[in-house]
Structure 1
Amino acid sequence: MEFKELVDAAEKWCTGNPFDLIFAEDVDERRLDFYAEPGISFYVLCPDNLTGGTDNFHVWSESEDCLPFLQLAQDYISSCGKKTLLEVLDKVFRSFRPLLGLPDIDDDTFDQYHADVEEEPEPDHQQMGVSQQ
């Protein structure tokens, strides 16, 4: 995908959440920098399949406070399958919800994975009474 298209997608994504796209560089690396109050920042390095560069997204933060929250997004990116920029950004946003003061939402992955699994019925436990004679 052309870098301009990635920038456009990132700007559109920012309209639905507290983050702003504050910097976009296509010279040395295809990098998009994001910022939200209260001091939450991260950047995304975008794949460059056209020139043989990296083929996966990479998220990172210069802030020590933000790094632990990016682990979920980093694990998601490194899992199987190609990811889109919007999928990566949505996972980052979900990761930062506690820092943004937003309620945490359940991760649908667990529910989707187990949606088709039928639970075994619980065995009927008959009431066993003690008879008094």
Structure 2
Amino acid sequence: MAHLANANNSFLWTIVCAYYSMFYIANAILYSYGYKVGSKIAHKVTADALIVHIRNKLNKSILDQYEEVQKQALNFMNANDLVLQFDLEREKRNRVQYSTTELIKNAKAKTSLERAKRFYTEMRKLII
């Protein structure tokens, strides 16, 4: 029984670690552009700042480089998807950590890990 409890606990930790990797990457990106998120409601502030920053950055690029509008529009849709995935993970981490049964955590953990990998890959492009 202890082995099962540890296995189920690892699903929770996968979700928590996946979310926090996204959270800290997002904060690093925001910090690199001069934005420092405070300690009060930091998770929601990060999500909101990410929405504003990514949308503004992409909108500016669209205006500056009109000939690449189609490419930028695809990037904008991709950015919105990334922001949505970040917010979904934030909400899921909260829900799973505090109110989800152990049976559901395995599937949620796999989704979280895949989202974190994609988020990391896309956010690296903003730094480089």
Higher strand share: 1
Asked whether the two chains share a fold, i.e. TM above 0.5, the reply is no
Higher helix share: 2
Larger Rg: 1
Does 1 or 2 have the higher relative contact order (CA < 8 Å, sep 6+)? 2
What TM-score results when the alignment is normalised by the length of structure 2?
0.30
